[in-house]
Amino acid sequence: MGRAVPLGPDDPTVVGEYRITGKIDEPGPEDAYLATDPRGTPVVIRLLAPVAEPERVTAAVGPLRGVPAFCVAQVLGGGTLGDRPYVVSEHVDGPTLAEAVPESGVLTGAALHRLAVGTMSAVVAIHQAGVLHGDIRPATVVLGPDGPRMADFGLNEALRGSETTVTRHVGKPAYRAPEEFDAAPPGPPADVFAWAATMVFAATGRDLFAGDSVAATVNRVVREPADLTGIDVELRSVLSACLAKNPDDRPVASDVLLRLIGEESLLQVTGRVTRPARRGLPWRAATAFLAGALVAGLTVFLAVPPRVEYVRVQAVPPSVTTAATVAAELDEVPENTTDVKVPGTPITLHESPDDPVRLNGYLSLKNPFTAYVRRSDGTYTEVGRGEEPVVSPDGQWVVLSPWAKYLRSDFDYVRFRNLRTGAEFTVNTVRRPQRTVTPSWSRDGTEVVLSVENTDEERTDGFAVVDVNTRAAEIVETEYTGGPAYPFGFMPDGQVARGYADTSHLGVKVYDRTGLVVRTLHWVGLPRDRSWFSPSGRRLATLCPKSDDMCVWDLGSGARLATVPIPEDSLWYGWFTDRHLILRVPVKKGYELRVVDLLGKLERVLATVDDKRDDVFFRLGVLP
């Protein structure tokens, strides 16, 4: 961002708890300062123009703190200094795009493409948090040492919350969308337009619609087509779609991002946005780019000449089981399979010895409702009657949850059996009218979480965590956020989470062990069943919030990585690898378990069930 200059006699030396260390030299009605917090961490403070009710602006800044710290200069807080609101944000050490291009030259090739992906990833994260940037231009893109960052997002919307505020400086009108000059309130399409104009500046060094006067510039924005001469053909087609004069004709930010990482054209001949058409992009190529630009724990370094281009990849921590490690690292689905008939069922498995997961337990839904687990030699052994079997990730234990409740007493319970020694024990959980259902293991195989349902009120009261080592259950009450359709499960880090639905959001809530919500992913849509997280633990799969497709999200940043189309009436069944999902797809005689990649392409059939009656309940996992 702009260069630092000494403080003047009218500049503050302290704002709130922050000590001012210098002033940032840049135009605009607000003043920008370098500062340090009480711990000595560098921050940027933007002291905005005076308003009649500065507290209203400060309140509007609050939601900006919820935007994932993914390619953005994160908003840390705000306050008031007299009649001037201020915003505190992360300090990113590096030049703005507006400074770097005149000094070092335009960006081309990989550097330009990485800039496009990094900045559009930020736009996606901002929009998915329910916020607009509102001021995308070369001066608000900072080229930090760990990649590009979007700065100053949401400040225009915050200022709009005060009727008496002056209009915030937003740079040249060449970066405003046409609809904004008709006094229409800006929406997400305006950010997409401004992003495209900013990418044209990065590639050419010119303001796309700049004229000899403000009036001439506005006329060019509103009426004249964009001149994209000299820009790479593939990027040019993306930018052209984003620069459509009609906001309804522009693709949404998430679709732009998918197209940048390899999707086919989002636009038909009419120019209207439709469902993306798929093309046979090699998955390795798309994954390589995602790994370099999007996946949590990986950092892309944008090169601006004469800097050196390179990508730093952080090592993936080992998973708790060998199977999970294989599934996280496996690029391709094993092809050589053997058909295996599951005795007494309509199930035929199509297995490979290299598969990271295989069927490891099932419950027959026909009398006498026998539960089985699979031994390491492939044979099956009976472990219970009328109890759902779920094998631990390390294959040592099976937890058995009775489907018929209160047959022995007024207490519900779960039973554990050690598959290596045969030892068993039972743990009581809750008393009637409550019951515990849908057991799910922690990744280290030491705990099981179950949803606590109230059968009288048909609601979920909380969750129970059963410790295998202490053989005790801890019952945790939570705030009511939905019915029994959304079971609790373990996060990869051991926290407990569940899906929720309210009048405006479909997402995931994360709880601590006292039942308090510590994180909410309100934009991701609903998880299905209990196998939400990929083998590495870095990705989350949900039913998309606005479609019947599956959405794959980066758990660290909250950014959407893929939208996976699924066949009609199909159901989510779990993860196969970090790059492949398992779907239950209806067929003429029954259904199939299919492995698909993140573009929806069928890779292999794992199992066929030649019976529509669905009289067997089975699960996949590692073999004991």
pLDDT, tens digit, for every residue of 279-335? 333 333 333 333 333 332 222 223 222 222 222 222 223 333 334 444 444 567 888
Residue 262 has pLDDT above 80, yes or no: no
Angle between helices 253-260 and 109-128 (to 10 degrees): 150
152-204 confidence digits (pLDDT tens): 765 666 555 444 444 444 446 888 888 888 766 778 899 999 999 999 999 99
| Residue 17 vs residues 79, 80, 613, 621: alpha-carbon distances, Å | 10, 12, 66, 52
**pLDDT of amino acid 355:** 86
Mean pLDDT of 432-447: 91
Stretch 251-278: mean pLDDT: 53
The whole-number pLDDT of residue 321 equals 37
CATH 2.120.10.30 residue ranges in the chain?
392-522
- pLDDT on residue 470: 92
How far is residue 403's CA from residue 411's CA, in Å, rounded to a whole number?
13
- The reported pLDDT for the residue numbered 236 is 87
Integer Cα distance of 419 and 397 in angstroms: 6
Helix (H, G, I), strand (E, B) or coil at 483: coil
- In 347-458, the DSSP E strands lie at 347-351, 358-364, 370-374, 380-385, 387-391, 397-402, 411-418, 424-431, 434-441, 447-454
Distance CA 293, CA 299 (A): 7
Tell me: the pLDDT tens digits for 563-595? 899 888 888 888 999 899 999 898 888 889 999
> Which of 84-88, 326-330, 389-393 shows the highest mean pLDDT?
389-393
Which range has highest mean pLDDT (66-80, 317-331, 401-415, 602-616)? 401-415
CATH 1.10.510.10 occupies which residues in the chain? Answer: 42-313
Query: What average pLDDT does the structure give for the chain?
Result: 77
pLDDT of 54: 65
Instruction: Assign 448 a pLDDT band (cuts: 50, 70, 90).
Output: very high
Q: What is the pLDDT of residue 317?
A: 31
* pLDDT tens, position by position, 95-113: 888 888 988 889 988 889 8
Query: With pLDDT > 70 as the criterion, what percentage of the chain qualifies?
Result: 77
To which H or E segment does residue 242 belong? Answer: helix 233-242
Proportion of the chain in helix, strand, coil states, percent, rounded to 5: 20, 35, 45
Please give the DSSP secondary-structure letter assigned to residue 49. Answer: P
pTM: 0.50
CATH number for the 42-313 domain, one of 1.10.510.10, 3.40.640.10, 1.20.120.10, 3.90.870.10? 1.10.510.10
DSSP code, position 6 = -
Could you report the per-residue pLDDT of 206-227, keeping only the tens digit for each?
A: 888 888 888 888 888 988 888 8
pLDDT digits (tens, 9 = 90+) for 483-512: 667 899 999 989 999 998 887 788 899 999
- CATH of 392-522 among 2.120.10.30, 1.10.10.60, 1.10.599.10, 2.70.98.60: 2.120.10.30
* pLDDT tens for each residue of 367-382: 777 888 888 777 888 8
605: amino acid identity, one letter = V
pLDDT, tens digit, 9 for 90 and up, residues 2-33: 566 778 788 888 888 888 888 887 655 578 88
* Predicted pLDDT at 353: 86
- Secondary element (H or E) of residue 254: helix 253-260
- What are the two backbone dihedrals, phi and then psi, of residue 580, each rounded to the nearest 5 degrees? -145, 140
User: Span 459-464, mean pLDDT?
Assistant: 89
The residues, ordered by sequence, that sit 6+ positions from 582 with a Cβ below 8 Å of its Cβ are 572, 573, 574, 575, 576, 593, 594, 595, 606, 620
